[in-house]
Chains A and B, each alone.
Chain A
Amino acid sequence: MRRGTHEKLTAGMVLGAMGPGLLAALSGNDAGGIATYSSAGASYGYGTLWMLPLMAVLLIVVQETAARCGCVTGKGFASLIRERFGVRKSALAMAALLIANTAVTISEFAGIASGLALFGVPATVSVPLVGLAIWLLTMSGSFQRIEKVLLMVSCVFVTYIVAAFLAGPDWGAVAAATVSPHVVPEPEYVSLLVATIGTTIAPWMVFLAQNNVVDKNVDESGIILQRIDTASGSIIACAVAWFIVVTTGAVLYPAGVQVADAADAALALEPIAGQFSTVLFASGLVAASFLAACVLPGVTSSAICEAFGWERGADRSWEEAPVYRGIITAIILASALLVIMPGVNLFQIMMSAQVINGVLLPVLLVFLLFIAQDKHIMGDYRNGRVWNVLTWATIVIITVLTIVMFVLQALGY
């Protein structure tokens, strides 16, 4: 079975394969990610840095598994769940995905609203207009045309890397904090940990990673290239996150700034951009959130329709694929309405969505794990022991953290 894996890897092939992983990594740093990492740095300094190398490893494990499943079976994750576990369990998995992704979409809308608020546009104006634009783009399928532009703009978060150096942190302390685990027994800290996991290893990224492979019809011989792609993408994503925490930890934490809204978070870019930090931060936030808000409803609806056998795809009309279009519309509408409601704290929404993501992640990981270690489905390419242990570890860690978080909250800390 293991044929074709001995072909020579040329530099061109490797670079070519690295594309989708990088794109996914950069678009992974969306509104929720920025909010979570910023407030992690602002509230606990370098106290959460140790999470990120760990997250990089776990992200590689999860993404690699998903991509490998796609290579071997040529089917999407939703199809595999349905065919392996039947209707009831796939309904459970799809419900988890729907909730998690709706939460993330809400947080993207919150990101757009708070980013535009920095330009002085109130949420009641920006959200309906942007919601309409997103809806039209996803419905007409013409989103791909502007995808690249948005990606470029959302790359401004790479400036955090420069900002981290300009902020002049105590690199010794940073290095020490990165390698020494450190836990603060506060519900905020624990929920921040859950949120960090939820935003780094988001459920939708699993689906997206597998879909990418399936759409390109990569077979077993492409697994090596997929590994390079997922590994490089994951490491870069976590590196950017690490720099965000370092920057905010060096700038905001000593100043005692608690990140309560986007304006506070933007302050962290002051060392690099000065008075333009707000503009820089806001444009990046809006572009990244807009990008993810365009992708997410489609990914969710497509997975659900795939699992239940309904027609899907942006090229299908309302008559042909009513469910597909209906789900997308419902997610966008619900997200926009929730964000417009008076008195909501936009930044709080972005964070809570990541917590929901983190709490629901184990559900989908269990499915992924059972599929990846099934001999009938995966043949010779099923999970090795190390991979199983690491995935189980992720599942257990998140579950324990979730329980701890709820217990701490129930005890009223």
Chain B
Amino acid sequence: MNYLSEMLKLPVIDSAGESIGIVNDLGIATGEVFPHVTSLAFQGPGKTPFMISWRKYVDRIDDTGVYLKVPATDIRFSYLQPDEVLLARDIMNKQIVDTQGMKVVRVNDIKLSASGENQLRLLGAEVGMRGLLRALHPALEHVAVKLARIVGKPLSEEIIAWSYMDLLERSTRTIKLSVSHKTLGELHPADIADIIEQLDPRLRGQVFAQLDTAQAAEAISEFDDDELVAEMLEGLSDRDASSMLALMDPDDAAALIEELDYEKAEKLLRLMGVKEERAIRTLLGYEENTAGRIMTSEFVALPATATVNDAIEGLKKLDEDFESVYYVYTTDPAGSLTGVLSLRALIVADRDARLNSLAYRDVVWVSPDEDQEDVAEEMSKYNLAAMPVCDENRHILGIVTVDDAMEVMNEEHQEDLQIAGVGGSEGSSGESMHMFSWFARRQYWLLIWAIASGIIAAALEMMGGFADLFIYPMCVMPVALLASSRVVSFVRNYYLEYDESDDEDKPYLAFFLQTALLGAVMALVIYLCGQLVLGAAYPDGIPVPAVAEGARDMTSALHAQLLSGCFGCAAAVTFACCALSVIYLKVLFWRDEHDLNTSGIALSVSAVLVSCVLYSIASVLLVFWFVA
């Protein structure tokens, strides 16, 4: 008797040898690492459910049934205790969180272990393939295990111990779980966020509600998906949401509030304490993507005349949730920033030394309107863990800490990668490049080529039955497609390398002239290549219709004209695409200004499609004109 699936439906037999029902469920006491089975639920005659104490009545168990110590008449029934969980009802087939593997899994079977005569303990939940096969039919499991061994990849059990599972739906049943239990709440907030993202929307709300406010506040600032955050906040009561935001670092809270609609945001802000509300409102007053938005007002600044002792005492009095302190800043009597000390300098210095004698005077600071990316770059340049943000009088308004700066860098990096067409908009980080997705991203033009050729053939057929001539437009088309896709990657590189910090007008005209010249050169090369091909194809001189005699010469002349014409089309389309590529640049800048993410692949697909359409129309008209 190792698995719950095998236990269920076993007969329950009393000491007189009478069968009094079949096993329905097992109850466990939740307070242990490997919990004992404490009660037995069985289904008596007429489908009546009964529950009895396991320890008191069960004598022994084997493959044939559960044998009781007493006759049926002596049994006293019991009820489910508050600390008990029913295995079949609450765990089997349900989704649980594997708090060790940080995954949401479904329980396929439950592994038990018999100890002594009549003791049964829960080992854990089986979540792997073997449990699934066993539940279908035990024979299936045996066959699969044997087969797997022959192949050399043994099929092992995937067991999650009781102490590493968290029951997702327990809130509905109000089951109290034991202290020995590692629940979701004990994980790192970033891991909690990862797990919650894997759940269905409804369950997400329930699990989130189980966390206490401080954990929720930390977890919510770890979500990657802004929509999800707004959704979670909508799900909370206004009071909870507001107190959660108040607990967060003001800059994180400001970022969240921005995602909400105006009314909700106002309501939440009004419910907060005055201090927190003011801090968040001040941050929201700064423009988006500026240093003001990501700075925190939690920093330590002391008069330059204070002693080291004062500083250390001051630090000791700070709240526990004060954002990490990296530096102590010194100010003159007017409140202006004069110097900075690292914590190390503070600790090793004499206790009664004055701060101004220790402080580093040449402080680097930024104004609140500074672009976030520039702040991050400055911090990395000067190797700072925090950057003070000051107004024009050098009064400190706040500091930008290294974690926020890293986030800014990371976002910027992601955007650039996306435009470069490496990480697609849907690409989760760390996804390995699959061969086929590489094909889809880089060589999709093959598909476009094939489909467009088909359409050209159909169009020629409809215009008078010249379908067999489609071969000429078709064989030259890749030139135009590839040229346009190259041009887009040129535009992307130009965009990525463009230094945005100077606020001059974007150099559209210069770019246009540059690409137009490039286009002209490429068009010329393509046209010359066409002439080269023609020269090789007709070594005796290219046939010209004017001097053609006889039908055969006419056809051959027509074909030569078509080939050269198609190269001409390709050249013209390439030139047009190059010259118009300034539009793509404009699109990129426009989307960047409106804070929209741009996928490089989408851009190059549309560029290839545009050139494909242009070329198709041009070549079909050409064929029609020559033939008619």
Q: Which residues of B contact A317 (CB under 8 A)?
A: 428, 431-432, 434
Minimum CB–CB distance for B193 against chain A, Å: 16
Smallest CB separation, A73 vs chain B (Å):
8
Chain A hits for B205, CB < 8 A: 217
Docked complex Cα distance between A102 and B244 (Å)? 48
The answer to whether residues A309 and B127 also contact, given A74-B202, A120-B458, A139-B436 and a CB cut-off of 8 A, is: yes
Please indicate the chain B residues that have their CB under 8 angstroms from the CB of A121 in the complex.
Answer: 454, 458
Please give me the residue from chain B that is nearest to A116 by CB atom: B454
Docked CA distance A79–B200 (Å): 11
Enumerate chain B residues within 8 angstroms of A133, measured Cβ to Cβ: 447
Taking CB atoms, residues of chain A closer than 8 Å to B349 are none
Chain B, range 183-221, C-beta contacts under 8 Å to A? 200-203, 205
Complex interface: stretch among A81-89, A106-114, A383-391, A401-409: A81-89
Shortest A52–chain B CB gap in Å is 35
Bound Cα distance A317, B436 (Å): 12
Chain A residue contacts of B95, Cβ below 8 A: 79, 309
Contacts of B602 in A (CB 8 A): 145
Contact of A315 among B94, B132, B428 (CB under 8 A): B428
- Is there a chain B Cβ closer than 8 Å to A308's Cβ? yes
* In the complex with contacts A74-B202, A88-B135, A217-B201, A314-B426 CB distance below 8 A: yes
Of residues 425 through 445 on chain B, the ones whose CB sits less than 8 Å from some CB of chain A are 425-426, 428, 431-432, 434, 436-437, 440, 444
User: CB < 8 Å: which of B107, B200, B424, B440 contacts A75?
Assistant: B200
Which residue of B has the minimal Cβ distance to A133?
Answer: B447
A82-B106, A308-B132, A317-B428 as given contacts; A74 in contact with B447, CB under 8 Å: no
Interface of A is mostly: helix
Mask for A56-95, Cβ within 8 A of B = 1, else 0? 0000000000000000011110010011001110010000
Shortest B140–chain A CB gap in Å is 10
Judge whether B93 is part of the interface by a CB distance below 8 angstroms: yes
A residues near B440, Cβ cutoff 8 Å: 136, 139-140
Question: Given the complex, which residues of A lie within 8 Å of B436, measured CB to CB?
Answer: 136, 139
| B135/A142 in contact, CB under 8 A | no
Interface residue A215 (Cβ < 8 Å from any Cβ of B) = yes
A81 → B minimal CB distance (Å)? 10
A129-B451, A140-B440, A317-B428 as given contacts; A87 in contact with B434, CB under 8 Å: no
Kindly state whether residue B461 has any CB partner on chain A within 8 Å: yes
Is A319's beta carbon under 8 Å from chain B? yes
Q: How far is the CB of A187 from chain B (nearest CB, A)?
A: 36
* Assembly CA distance A217 to B205 (angstroms): 9
Out of B92, B200, B451, B454, which one reaches A214, CB within 8 Å?
B200
**Residue in contact with A140 in the complex, picked from B105, B200, B202, B424, CB distance below 8 Å:** B424
**Minimum CB distance partner of A316 in chain B:** B428
Q: Is the CB of A309 within 8 A of B105?
A: yes
- In the complex, which residue of chain A has the Cβ closest to the Cβ of B205? A217
* Structural contact, B450 and A140, CB atoms closer than 8 A: no
- Name which residue of chain A comes closest to B133, CB basis: A87
In the complex, whether A132 has a CB less than 8 A from a CB of chain B is yes
Contacting pair B450 A83 (CB below 8 A): no
Interface status of B231 (Cβ within 8 A of chain A): yes
Task: Encode A127-151 as 1/0 by CB contact (under 8 A) with B.
Answer: 0010011001001111001000000
Interface residues of B in 387-409 (CB under 8 A from A): none
B587 interfacial contact with A, CB 8 Å: no
Q: A216 an interface residue at 8 Å Cβ cutoff?
A: yes
Residues of B within 8 A of A87 (CB): 93, 108, 132, 135-136
Chain A residues lying within 8 Å of B127, measured Cβ to Cβ, are 309
List B contacts of A318 (CB < 8 A): 434
Minimum CB–CB distance from B237 to chain A (whole Å) comes to 15
When distances are taken between beta carbons in the complex, the residues of chain B under 8 Å from A74 are 200-203
Contact across chains for A140 and B93 when beta carbons are under 8 A apart: no
> In chain A between 224 and 277, which residues have their CB closer than 8 angstroms to a CB of chain B?
none
Q: Which residues of the other chain, B, contact A91 by a CB distance below 8 angstroms? A: 136
Rounded to whole angstroms, the CA-CA distance of A74 and B200 in the bound complex is 8
Expressed in whole angstroms, the Cα–Cα distance for A139 and B132 within the complex equals 26
Please report which residues of chain A, range 312-365, place their CB below 8 angstroms from some CB of chain B when the two chains form the complex. Answer: 314-319
Q: Are B426 and A141 in contact (CB under 8 A)?
A: yes
| B202 cross-chain contacts in A, Cβ below 8 A | 73-75, 214, 217, 219
Q: Inside 8 A of A119's CB, which chain B residues have their CB? A: 458
* Complex CA–CA separation, A82 to B200 (angstroms): 15
A88-B136, A133-B447 given; A140·B108 CB < 8 A = no
Interface-centre pick from B107, B231, B434 (highest chain A CB count, 10 A): B434
Contacts of A142 in B (CB 8 A): 424-426
**Interchain nearest-CB distance for B465 vs A (Å):** 12
In the complex, the answer to whether A215 meets B201 with C-beta atoms within 8 Å is yes
Distance of A309 Cα from B109 Cα, bound (Å): 12
For the complex formed, measure the closest distance between the CB of B351 and the CB atoms of chain A, giving whole angstroms. Answer: 56
Interchain nearest-CB distance for A68 vs B (Å):
14
* A82 to B93 CA separation, bound complex (whole angstroms): 7
Residue of A with least CB distance to B235: A217
Q: A88-B135, A142-B426, A309-B127 are in contact. Are A76 and B93 (CB under 8 A)?
A: no
B91–chain A nearest beta-carbon distance, Å: 11
Would you give the shortest CB distance from B87 to chain A, in whole angstroms? Answer: 13
Provide the B83-107 mask, 1 if CB < 8 A to any CB of A, else 0: 0000000001111000000000111
For A216, what are the chain B residues with a Cβ–Cβ distance below 8 Å?
Answer: 201
Contact of B426 among A136, A309, A315 (CB under 8 A): A315
- Do A140 and B437 contact each other (CB < 8 Å), given the known contacts A133-B447, A217-B231? yes
Q: Compute how far the CA of A309 lies from the CA of B202 in the bound complex, rounded to whole angstroms.
A: 17
Q: CA of A125 to CA of B451 in the docked complex: distance in angstroms?
A: 10
- Closest B residue to A125 by beta carbon equals B454
Q: List 6 A-B contacts (CB under 8 A).
A: A76-B200, A82-B106, A140-B426, A217-B205, A309-B106, A309-B127
**Besides the known contacts A87-B132, A139-B440, 16 further A-B residue pairs in the complex with CB atoms under 8 A apart:** A74-B200, A74-B203, A79-B95, A83-B93, A86-B92, A119-B458, A139-B437, A140-B437, A142-B424, A217-B202, A219-B202, A308-B132, A309-B107, A317-B431, A317-B434, A318-B434
Chain A residues in contact with chain B, CB under 8 A?
A: 73-76, 79, 82-83, 86-88, 91, 119-121, 125, 129, 132-133, 136, 139-142, 145, 214-217, 219, 308-309, 314-319
Q: B: which residues have CB within 8 A of A? A: 92-95, 105-108, 127, 132, 135-136, 200-203, 205, 231, 235, 424-426, 428, 431-432, 434, 436-437, 440, 444, 447, 450-451, 454, 458, 461, 602
- 7 closest Cβ contacts across the A-B interface? A74-B202, A309-B106, A87-B135, A217-B201, A317-B431, A136-B440, A141-B426
